[in-house]
Amino acid sequence: MTTLPDELDLLLLPRWIVPVVPRGLVLEQHALAVHQGRIVALLPVEQTADLKVRERRDLPDHLLIPGLVNAHGHAAMSLFRGLADDLPLMTWLTDHIWPAEGRWVNADFVRLGTQLAIAEMLRGGTTCFSDMYFYPDVAAAAATEAGIRAQLAFPVIDNPIPGARDSAEAIAKGLKLHDETRHNPLISVAFGPHAPYTVSDETLTRVRTLADELDLPIHMHIHETAFEVDEAVRLSGQRPLQRLQQLGLLSPRLQAVHVTQVNDDDLKLLSDYGVQVIHCPESNMKLASGAMPVQQLLDAKVNVALGTDGAASNNDLDMLGEMRSAALLAKLTAGDPTALDAHAALHMATLAGAQALGLSDEIGSLEVGKAADLAAIDLSALAQQPVYQPVSQLLYTCNAAQVSDVWVAGRPKLRAGKLCSVDTGPMLQQANELATRIRKGDTHES
Ligand SMILES: CSC[C@H]1O[C@@H](n2cnc3c(O)ncnc32)[C@H](O)[C@@H]1O
Ligand SMILES: [Zn+2]
């Protein structure tokens, strides 16, 4: 047994611990010890009596789990929450979201929207998120300041975008961000080619070459709707996944987001190439984009992570709610109530997310040596009694409101339901002032 430090930074004593590895394990009468930002022990409570600790937290009604990993979103779009609802994807994007982005998105917008999204995510137990949005350098700074883990997928599109005149400039800026953040333990950077229908073969080839050279992930919306796939077949005779295979993009470093359209050939490609797949069930349902065949993918040994997508299409960033939606939708899609059980859904929202983002050596499960990214959920509410199985309760009765405490790399971010060191007042005031102007169609952007 490894020796513990003379004095531990933190000792947590929750009612239950679900470490996610090994799958299905629920520990009672156990404690988790944290030192210098890392998990240093998971041990029976009776072995903790003589331990010297700086802080000891009793969590008598709580379930301790790994921090949730939101594997896909557009954080700053929190400022567009509710702007355009109940529409299909392409109408939503082309008639509402893209015009609004062209008019309103600048560095200040991204700073405020990302700060707001981070506050919401920490409040709901998310300790790591993947973001694909404009001004990724600004989003990286907001994440660093808040002390949350993030993957920034810098956007690459064959059109001018806020913050970059063309794809070459977007790539140059993205690689600069990669260089500047290489020593930042909370930040990682990925290529973010938006979607098969907005990025040319030439640009995708450039992305693939650079991603191979630098060993960086590629994060992309793929096979989101039947329309996307049918249009690609109509125009080129190929499904997007076939095209990406030809261009050399399929690999375990590809993070394919949405993937609601999967025929047998697609399934084989995803499985053979070890592509990471990211499921966004609520966005897919709200835009009626389609339903990912989750159980089929899992049966084919494809890693499936979970994401909320942006707040403009979800409309929240609540990963516990997303887990429940994923489980319910998987059962309906498979016609099988055993599909995506509670432990499988928790795995999807934690370790599978970490694996998809290339971070599973560091986060995603409660194992000695991993970073202390943790969430405690209070299961004492009336509507949660009695508790036969805490993970069942977590999945089928909880949402963000029951998350009580959150740590990232051992640092407290939420304590007894209150965000630590974030004053949401000014942020909310600015967000509401901006929303008033957006609603009125104000043309002045300062
Ligand atoms: C290149 S920055 C991200 C870009 O993507 C847009 N977006 C948001 N949600 C979706 C979605 O579900 N599918 C495709 N594109 C989406 C966002 O508005 C930005 O323009
Ligand atoms: Zn998206």
DSSP string, 111-164: HHHHHHHHHHHHHTTEEEEEEE-S-HHHHHHHHHHHT-EEEEEEEE-SS-BTTB
Claim to verify: residue 156 and residue 93 sit in the same structural domain? yes
Which residues, other chains included, contact 72 with Cβ-Cβ below 8 Å and sequence gap of 6+? 130, 132, 219, 255, 257, 278, 280, 305, 307, 308, 309
**315 within ligand 1 shell (Cβ under 6 A):** no
CA of 312 to the centre of ligand 1 (A): 10
- In ligand 1, which atom is closest to the CA atom of 194? 1
Q: Return the structure tokens found at 251.
A: 């690999």
Is residue 431 within 8 Å of residue 116, measured between CB atoms?
Answer: yes
Claim to verify: residue 345 and residue 392 sit in the same structural domain? no
Q: Indicate which ligand has the atom closest to the C-alpha of 73.
A: 2
Q: Return the structure tokens found at 313.
A: 């299409």
CA of 431 to the centre of ligand 1 (A): 20
Residue 444 lies in a domain: no
CA distance readout (Å), 70 to 143, 316, 321, 357, 389: 14, 12, 12, 10, 24
Residue 437 lies in a domain: no
**219 within ligand 1 shell (Cβ under 6 A):** no
Residue 14 lies in a domain: yes
CA of 206 to the centre of ligand 1 (A): 21
Claim to verify: residue 380 and residue 401 sit in the same structural domain? yes
Claim to verify: residue 37 and residue 155 sit in the same structural domain? no
**133 within ligand 1 shell (Cβ under 6 A):** yes
For the domain that residue 312 is a member of, what is the CATH number? Answer: 3.20.20.140
Range of the structural domain that residue 12 is part of: 8-66+364-415
Claim to verify: residue 396 and residue 329 sit in the same structural domain? no
Claim to verify: residue 240 and residue 281 sit in the same structural domain? yes
Is residue 222 within 8 Å of residue 244, measured between CB atoms?
Answer: yes
Claim to verify: residue 104 and residue 233 sit in the same structural domain? yes
Residue 431 lies in a domain: no
CA of 192 to the centre of ligand 2 (A): 11
Print pLDDT tens along the chain (446 aa).
Answer: 568 999 999 999 999 999 999 999 999 999 999 999 999 999 999 999 999 999 999 999 999 999 999 999 999 999 999 999 999 999 999 999 999 999 999 999 999 999 999 999 999 999 999 999 999 999 999 999 999 999 999 999 999 999 999 999 999 999 999 999 999 999 999 999 999 999 999 999 999 999 999 999 999 999 999 999 999 999 999 999 999 999 999 999 999 999 999 999 999 999 999 999 999 999 999 999 999 999 999 999 999 999 999 999 999 999 999 999 999 999 999 999 999 999 999 999 999 999 999 999 999 999 999 999 999 999 999 999 999 999 999 999 999 999 999 999 999 999 999 999 889 999 999 999 999 999 988 654 44
CA of 194 to the centre of ligand 1 (A): 7
Helix, strand, coil share (%) of the chain residues, nearest 5: 40, 25, 35
Claim to verify: residue 59 and residue 72 sit in the same structural domain? no
Number of domains the chain contains: 2
Identity of the residue numbered 304:
V
Instruction: List residues bridging with 375 in a β-sheet.
Output: 65, 406
Cα(164)–Cα(173) distance, integer angstroms:
8
**97 within ligand 1 shell (Cβ under 6 A):** yes
Claim to verify: residue 272 and residue 392 sit in the same structural domain? no
Claim to verify: residue 352 and residue 368 sit in the same structural domain? no
Which residues, other chains included, contact 142 with Cβ-Cβ below 8 Å and sequence gap of 6+? 75, 110, 111, 114, 115, 118
Claim to verify: residue 324 and residue 382 sit in the same structural domain? no
Cα(409)–Cα(300) distance, integer angstroms:
33
- In ligand 1, which atom is closest to the CA atom of 280? 12
Burial 256-284 (b: 16+ CB within 10 A, else e): bbbbbbbeeebbebbeebebbbbbbbbbb
Residue 440 lies in a domain: no
**279 within ligand 1 shell (Cβ under 6 A):** no
pLDDT at 421: 82
Claim to verify: residue 74 and residue 145 sit in the same structural domain? yes
pLDDT at 442: 63
- In ligand 1, which atom is closest to the CA atom of 155? 1
**284 within ligand 1 shell (Cβ under 6 A):** no
To test the ligand 1 pocket, which listed residue (77, 93, 283) has its Cβ within 8 A of the most ligand atoms?
A: 93
Domain boundary (357, 373, 405) is at 357
CA of 165 to the centre of ligand 1 (A): 18
Residue 81 lies in a domain: yes
Domain boundary (357, 385, 405) is at 357
Residue 269 lies in a domain: yes
Q: What is the ipTM of this complex?
A: 0.99
**194 within ligand 1 shell (Cβ under 6 A):** yes
Tokens 């039947």, located at residue? 226
CA of 62 to the centre of ligand 2 (A): 32
Residue 3 lies in a domain: no
Which residues, other chains included, contact 305 with Cβ-Cβ below 8 Å and sequence gap of 6+? 69, 71, 72, 255, 276, 277, 278, 279, 348, 352, 353, 355, 356, 357
Tokens 């942020």, located at residue? 427
List residues forming the annotated binding site for Zn(2+). 72, 74, 221, 309
For the domain that residue 398 is a member of, what is the CATH number? Answer: 2.30.40.10
**224 within ligand 1 shell (Cβ under 6 A):** yes
The whole-model pTM stands at 0.98
